[in-house]
Structure 1
Amino acid sequence: MAVYFTADLHFFHENVIRFANRPFRGAEEMNAALIQNWNNRVSAGDEVYILGDVTLKGAGRAAEVLSQLCGKKYLIRGNHDKFADQASFPKELFVWIRDYAEITVGNTPFVLFHYPIGEWNGFYRGAVHLHGHQHNHRDYNEKNRGEGLLRYDVGVDANGMAPVSAAEIEAFFFSDLESRPSGQAGGCTT
């Protein structure tokens, strides 16, 4: 079982394509690419923590897309996740829904929140803060690493439009590798 993180998917959201300079002609193309990229990486037994902003649409659209994504899903609410509070949303699509969480994967503590935090629990003890919200690109994560700041934007805009694994984040911060490991770990059908 692998652990993945992602954020800021914004399924069905036309304006995010222009706002975040995404390489798609429309929401339908973006949705298809995000689903394919996710399912190419994530296996059915993997865990995926979504750090907010699944979709601006309602419960029906959220359920439609979430049911196509592999893995056990956890939601850290973002500012565009109102669907999660709608009575018609099938809550069983997530293991849990929270505003904030702290988890440990292997020996690495992770602090999960949709928004970037200046200092977090474990800031001085090697905890890595994962967030979304800002629609940063890879240079943001590189800058944080260069400054010794263990803060990482897991949003799709900063990670090739796909979830990023805990192992990749650990290697990014804690190894002498020149680049993060790549590779297609998963692959499942829904």
Structure 2
Amino acid sequence: MIFFTSDLHFGHEHIIQFSHRPFRNVTEMNRQLISNYNAVVQPEDTVYLLGDLSFQISVEKANALIAQLNGKKHLILGNHDKSYAPELFEEILIYRDLREMQKWWVLMHYPLLEWRRERHGAIHLHGHIHSKGLDNNLSNLQKGIRRYDVGVDANGYYPVAMSTILDFFQLFTLQIS
């Protein structure tokens, strides 16, 4: 399977208050995010991490946490990312076009106003904005915008499967038509 996530912010104590995360401290947050991730992502799965994996911790500590995550990891760099150990990832990029499940996917840490193949059905996946729940994704969909926030804050602190995103667009498009 293919999964997406972003904005884990391992080691970032202040993200708990900033994003109203339900954790007592950064140790609990790091542990729970890894547990949630590994509960859905298997070692043979592919995961696109759309940036901001860590903040305010050493590269060594960040690498140790990232190494605990299952799957074949592809990193799309975010504004807080460091020089992580390259062997932890299949690739490290700033932007990625992906063709999967008969769709084009545009991957970047930041939400874009326009993207390649947008008028031909491409779906843009991003993080960065720390939206809560599906409200932002539903709002975009109601406006006819195929942009989806894959950040942990928007997805119950779990990675989201590509098939789930496709179902979201198909189900809610039918409801608002």
Q: TM-score range by the shorter chain?
A: over 0.9
Write the distance in 2 (CA, Å) between the matches of 1:11 and 1:163: 15
* Aligned position for 1:69: 69
Could you list the runs of 5+ residues in structure 2 that have no partner in the other structure? none
Aligned: 1:153 with 2:121: no
Classify the secondary structure of the residue corresponding to 1:175. helix
* Aligned position for 1:167: 163
Write the distance in 2 (CA, Å) between the matches of 1:142 and 1:83: 34
Aligned: 1:132 with 2:131: no
Q: Aligned AA for 1:113?
A: M
- What does 1:62-141 correspond to in 2, within 5 Å? 62-84=62-84, 90-137=85-132, 138-141=134-137
Q: TM-score, normalised by structure 2?
A: 0.94
What's the offset of the Cα at 1:142?
1.0
| CA 1:176–1:15: 2 relative to 1, 3 Å | closer
Q: Is the 8 A contact 1:108 1:170 kept in 2?
A: no
Write the distance in 2 (CA, Å) between the matches of 1:176 and 1:6: 21
Q: Aligned AA for 1:93?
A: L
What's the offset of the Cα at 1:175?
3.4
Q: Aligned AA for 2:141?
A: R
What's the offset of the Cα at 1:177?
8.8
| CA 1:25–1:165: 2 relative to 1, 3 Å | same
| 1:150-169 deviation digits (Å, cap 9, x = unpaired) | 00000000000010010000
Classify the secondary structure of the residue corresponding to 2:74. strand
What's the offset of the Cα at 1:116?
0.5
Q: Aligned AA for 1:170?
A: L
Write the distance in 2 (CA, Å) between the matches of 1:177 and 1:14: 38
| 1:56-88 deviation digits (Å, cap 9, x = unpaired) | 22320121011111100010000000233xxxx
Instruction: Report the aligned-residue RMSD.
Output: 1.5
| CA 1:9–1:48: 2 relative to 1, 3 Å | same
How many equivalent pairs are there?
Answer: 173
Q: TM-score, normalised by structure 1?
A: 0.87
Q: Aligned AA for 2:163?
A: A
Aligned: 1:45 with 2:41: no
- Give the 4+ runs in structure 1 shifted more than 3 A: 175-179
* Aligned position for 1:187: none
Classify the secondary structure of the residue corresponding to 2:14. helix
Q: Is the 8 A contact 1:6 1:162 kept in 2?
A: yes
Q: Aligned AA for 2:53?
A: V
Q: How much identity, in percent, do the aligned residues show?
A: 46
* Aligned position for 1:182: none
Q: Is the 8 A contact 1:76 1:97 kept in 2?
A: yes
Classify the secondary structure of the residue corresponding to 1:83. coil
Q: Aligned AA for 1:172?
A: F
* Aligned position for 1:10: 9
